[in-house]
């Protein structure tokens, strides 16, 4: 099986190819999906934009870095019927983008169903 790569933008704006290490097929969100991330302590609230989803993970654009291992609650609402609710996740990586935002990838505590994936992507 050929190794898949994932393109990201580094701080210098240049494209970087990284090995694709996901075990699950990832779906890029066709339309902007807004979500809310809640962090402890005090359940601090941050607005985010969802970049992509998979059965066991989610990628988001944030205005700040989250360290790997950070546990968070992700509140998603789909504009189509099929999914809305809170998900628990753990940060796996944070990559700073050329525009100063961060792409943050999280693993989810439970798998999303096929219907949930379709409603979010």
Q: How confident is the model at residue 2 (pLDDT cuts 50, 70, 90)?
A: very low
Average pLDDT score, the chain: 77
Q: What is the CATH number of the domain that holds 97?
A: 2.40.10.220
The 8 Å CB, 24+ separation contacts for 38-47 are 38/72, 38/73, 38/74, 38/75, 39/66, 39/70, 39/72, 40/71, 43/73
- Confidence (pLDDT) at 83: 61
Whole-number Å distance between alpha carbons of 53 and 50: 8
- Confidence (pLDDT) at 114: 86
Query: Which of 45-54, 79-88, 100-109 shows the lowest per-residue confidence on average (mean pLDDT)?
Result: 79-88
Q: Is residue 96's pLDDT more than 70?
A: yes
Q: What are phi and psi of 57, to 5 degrees?
A: -160, 170
* 4 falls within a domain: no
Q: Is residue 54's pLDDT more than 60?
A: yes
| Host domain of residue 64 | 30-120
């Amino acid at each position: 099986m050929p190794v898949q790569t994932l393109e990201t933008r580094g701080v210098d704006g240049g494209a970087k190819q990284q090995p694709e290490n996901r075990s699950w097929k990832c779906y890029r969100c066709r339309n902007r999906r807004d979500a809310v991330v809640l962090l402890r302590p005090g359940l601090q609230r941050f607005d985010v934009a969802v970049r992509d989803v998979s059965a066991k993970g989610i990628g988001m654009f944030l205005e700040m870095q989250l360290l790997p291992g950070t546990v968070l609650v992700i509140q998603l609402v789909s504009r189509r019927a099929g999914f809305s609710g809170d998900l628990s996740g753990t940060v796996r990586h944070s990559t700073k983008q050329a525009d100063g935002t961060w792409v943050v990838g999280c693993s989810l505590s439970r798998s999303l169903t096929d219907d949930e994936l379709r409603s979010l992507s």
